[in-house]
């Protein structure tokens, strides 16, 4: 349970208000004994922009942990929490949609080891395969609607006594020395959840962090209530997932080091063709009753399009703590939690738990490094 401000003994500053920063701040707050302040340039309430990835996610939970054991555990912990939150009667249930998802592949990968805990998990028979697939696995999962979910996290943080400050930091030490109005004068620790910002923020400037551009399209297709992905041997990857809003989010762009901030027409056509091939049912039923649909039958269904830059990182998520020298007189623990690539929602609670452990270990005088990601 959260302790009220008067009982809290340590001041923690979390940098970043994406899904990772918000979840981490809540985890720390709920542990008790901490007064938590989030400082960020962008918050969930702001309009969508290219500098804030979390708004652009699907977001479904379909783990792609491969052999990375740490990632598998984070994904599983997060699934268990979100599965409960998506249950009927839970306060945030209305932003989740539970549905059947089928992961199709022709790249020789068998995801059973990291997906077999999903409810109703089974492999599909040959006559259920979509064009381009050689294997498939189906299970129950959920999507969440990011704008609502993120604002719910923020609201939960504030309701439990958290503080927020808006600022763009040039250097991490600016969060340590009390020079920014609203921040504690002498924080006990900093937790950096800055996503792609880790590449630029002074004091971190992690050049292992790079953008993985995505371009998504929301189609008004409330008749489709299931999700599909297709991963091919040539590296192509298409996905479609239904949202509680009645829209179906589709995509298939995953390009490293592409910073282009707005949708491209060629990507739009590529995505629509790819998802129509794995799900012709996206086209309106009346069209399908008459003829084979084309991508021109999907264009009138487009309600939103956008681009997001996934915070990729060579070596996987950075979950690490160190004593940072803000000045010759000031050393302060910094916990890093960034680089979630395309998995920030589905690993959010798991990585927040590790960040909390790192924080407590470091404050207690030890130093823990769980930075053992393999992808």
Ligand X SMILES: Cc1cc2nc3c(=O)[nH]c(=O)nc-3n(C[C@H](O)[C@H](O)[C@H](O)COP(=O)(O)OP(=O)(O)OC[C@H]3O[C@@H](n4cnc5c(N)ncnc54)[C@H](O)[C@@H]3O)c2cc1C
Residues near ligand X (CB under 6 A) are 15-21, 40-42, 52-54, 56-60, 168-169, 193-197, 201, 214, 216, 251, 308, 310-311, 338, 340-346
Give the residue with the Cβ less far from ligand X, 58 or 111.
58
Q: CA–CA distance from 339 to each of 67, 310, 318 (Å)?
A: 18, 8, 6
Give the residue with the Cβ less far from ligand X, 8 or 180.
180
Burial 248-282 (b: 16+ CB within 10 A, else e): bbbbbbbeeebeeeebeeebbebbbebbbebbebb
Q: How many residues does the chain have?
A: 375
Give the residue with the Cβ less far from ligand X, 308 or 333.
308
Shortest distance, position 365 Cβ to ligand X, whole Å: 28
Shortest distance, position 255 Cβ to ligand X, whole Å: 11
Taking the CA atoms of 283, 286, 292 and 296 in sequence, report the sign of the dihedral they define: negative
Shortest distance, position 303 Cβ to ligand X, whole Å: 16
Give the bridge partners for 306, in sequence order: 216
Shortest distance, position 134 Cβ to ligand X, whole Å: 24
Shortest distance, position 4 Cβ to ligand X, whole Å: 26
Say how far apart CA 355 and CA 375 lie, in whole Å: 19
Q: CA–CA distance from 90 to each of 23, 35, 84, 238, 349 (Å)?
A: 18, 27, 8, 31, 17
Shortest distance, position 193 Cβ to ligand X, whole Å: 6
Say how far apart CA 217 and CA 297 lie, in whole Å: 14
Give the residue with the Cβ less far from ligand X, 10 or 48.
48
Shortest distance, position 111 Cβ to ligand X, whole Å: 15
Say how far apart CA 242 and CA 96 lie, in whole Å: 10
Phi, psi (deg, nearest 5) at residue 265: -60, -40
Give the residue with the Cβ less far from ligand X, 86 or 346.
346
Would you give the distance in Å from CA 309 to the centre of its chain?
11
- Looking at 106-188, which runs of residues are DSSP E strands? 122-123, 135-144, 163-166
Give the residue with the Cβ less far from ligand X, 54 or 86.
54
The SS3 call for residue 180 is coil
Dihedral, CA of residue 255, residue 69, residue 320 and residue 6, to nearest 10: 110
Say how far apart CA 14 and CA 29 lie, in whole Å: 11
Give the residue with the Cβ less far from ligand X, 190 or 221.
190
Give the residue with the Cβ less far from ligand X, 35 or 310.
310
Shortest distance, position 29 Cβ to ligand X, whole Å: 17
């Amino acid at each position: 349970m959260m302790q009220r401000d008067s009982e809290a003994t340590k001041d923690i500053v979390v940098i970043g208000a994406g899904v990772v920063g918000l979840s981490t701040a809540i985890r720390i707050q709920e542990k008790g004994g901490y007064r938590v302040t989030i400082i960020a340039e962008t918050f969930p309430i702001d309009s969508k922009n290219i500098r804030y990835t979390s708004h652009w996610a699907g977001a479904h939970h379909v783990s792609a942990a491969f052999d990375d054991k740490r990632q598998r555990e984070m994904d599983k912990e997060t699934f268990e929490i979100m599965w409960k939150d998506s249950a009927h009667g839970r306060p945030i249930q209305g932003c989740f949609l539970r549905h059947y998802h089928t992961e199709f592949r022709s790249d020789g990968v068998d995801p059973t080891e990291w997906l077999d805990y999903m409810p109703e998990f089974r492999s599909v028979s040959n006559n259920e395969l979509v064009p381009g697939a050689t294997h498939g696995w189906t299970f129950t999962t959920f999507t969440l609607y990011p704008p609502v979910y993120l604002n719910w996290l923020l609201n939960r943080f504030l309701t439990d006594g958290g503080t927020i400050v808006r600022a763009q930091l040039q250097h991490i030490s600016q969060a340590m020395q009390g020079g920014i109005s609203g921040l504690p004068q002498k924080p006990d620790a900093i937790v950096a959840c800055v996503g792609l910002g880790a590449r630029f923020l002074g004091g971190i400037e992690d050049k292992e962090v790079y953008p993985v551009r995505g371009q998504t399209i929301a189609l008004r297709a409330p008749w489709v209530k299931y999700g599909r992905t297709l991963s091919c041997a040539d590296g192509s990857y298409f996905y479609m997932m239904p949202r509680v809003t009645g829209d179906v989010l589709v995509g298939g762009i995953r390009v490293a080091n592409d910073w282009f901030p707005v949708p491209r027409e060629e990507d739009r056509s590529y995505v629509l063709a790819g998802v129509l091939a794995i799900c012709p049912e996206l086209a309106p039923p009346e069209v399908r009753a008459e003829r084979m649909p084309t991508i021109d039958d999907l264009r009138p269904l487009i309600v939103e399009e956008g681009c997001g830059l996934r915070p990729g990182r060579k070596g996987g998520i950075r979950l690490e703590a160190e004593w940072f020298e803000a000045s010759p007189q000031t050393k302060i623990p910094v916990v890093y939690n960034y680089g979630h690539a395309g998995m920030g929602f589905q690993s959010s609670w798991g990585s927040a738990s590790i960040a909390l452990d790192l924080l407590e270990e470091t404050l207690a005088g030890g130093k823990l490094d769980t930075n053992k990601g393999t992808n």
